[in-house]
Amino acid sequence: MDENKRITVKNFEELEFRDDFMFGVIMRTPKYCKPFLETILGIKISDITYPKTQETIDITANAKGVRLDVYVEDERNTVYNIEMQVTVNKNLPKRSRYYQGMIDLNVLEKGEDYKNLKRSFVIFICTFDLFSKGRHIYTFENRCIQDYEIGLGDETTKIILNTKGTMDDVTPEMKRLLDYIDGQAASDDFTKELETAVKSVRKNEKWRLDYMTLEMRYKELLEQGFEEGLEQGLEQGIEKMQAAIKMLKAGDLSAEEISKHLDLTVEQVLELKKEIVQ
């Protein structure tokens, strides 16, 4: 690719709340994560914890790439998995199924009774409308097709949020939060707190170093084969690489399927796979 056509990676000082790195850092703190969940779910949570048996947020720059899931528990034995999704990905429904299964496997010890499975929420925050229906929120639970009043009772919920919604289907607080995630100015106390947190992270030298190291790793991987065909520049290449990493970690698509979905070569996907498993 012509060096003059490159689009530079976002500077650390330009990172927004919705950027994967920034979102992962801020959601480490219960002060922000708890009201974030309360706003989305319309409930009150007394306390949340980050299980030590889980890699709650693993932002690293090693060969395993980046894992950006947020995993927390509350005092009512409920677990929450939250993920920011800014790249259009039609495979989110099956990814949510995979994440649900992983939560159950992690919660249930070998030989333990199924009744000990915890209530769980898998939440995707998307900056696009996956279903093109204009809703801000799509909530899914297992129900009987013959009689929708009958719920399966497996205590699993999947929520897909859309920051581009047009319906009047969420609370004003949630609408302001989604607008903020979508890039609009902070407009209430909570979104202003989030914006303050963003500015604080931008001033943190440790996080700056981590981000710069991660950026260098991305560029190294791009040089191993991701530049070819990415006419819109380095930034798009990174987005595709991040999407490929997530799909490979989910494990529900082959390298050939991922290459078709993201317009990459099979060789590029296999190269990334080697990096992840090292």
**Are 232 and 268 members of one domain?**
yes
**Are 195 and 221 members of one domain?**
no
pLDDT higher than 50, residue 125: yes
**Are 144 and 254 members of one domain?**
no
pLDDT higher than 60, residue 276: no
Domain boundary residue, one of 202, 228, 247: 202
**Are 234 and 182 members of one domain?**
no
Please, which residues have CB within 8 angstroms of residue 237's CB and are 6 or more apart in sequence?
Answer: 222, 226, 227, 230
Q: Do residues 198 and 15 make contact, with C-beta atoms less than 8 angstroms apart?
A: yes
Closest CA to 123 of 168, 172, 190, 78: 78
**Are 30 and 154 members of one domain?**
yes
**Are 266 and 190 members of one domain?**
no
E strand spans, the chain? 48-49, 70-74, 78-85, 119-126, 137-140, 156-162
Please, which residues have CB within 8 angstroms of residue 26's CB and are 6 or more apart in sequence?
Answer: 17, 32, 194, 197, 198, 201
**Are 96 and 219 members of one domain?**
no
Among 16-25, 43-52, 160-169, the range scoring the smallest mean pLDDT is 43-52
Domain boundary residue, one of 142, 176, 202: 202
**Are 68 and 109 members of one domain?**
yes
Domain boundary residue, one of 186, 202, 218: 202
**Are 155 and 130 members of one domain?**
yes
**Are 185 and 263 members of one domain?**
no
Mean pLDDT of 166-180: 97
Among 7-16, 148-157, 168-177, the range scoring the smallest mean pLDDT is 7-16
Helix (H, G, I), strand (E, B) or coil at 91: coil
Query: How many domains does the chain divide into?
Result: 2
**Are 160 and 245 members of one domain?**
no
Mean pLDDT of 91-105: 84
pLDDT higher than 70, residue 160: yes
pLDDT higher than 60, residue 235: no
pLDDT at residue number 220: 66
**Are 70 and 155 members of one domain?**
yes
Domain hosting residue 269, numbered range: 3-8+204-277
| pLDDT over 90, % of the chain | 44
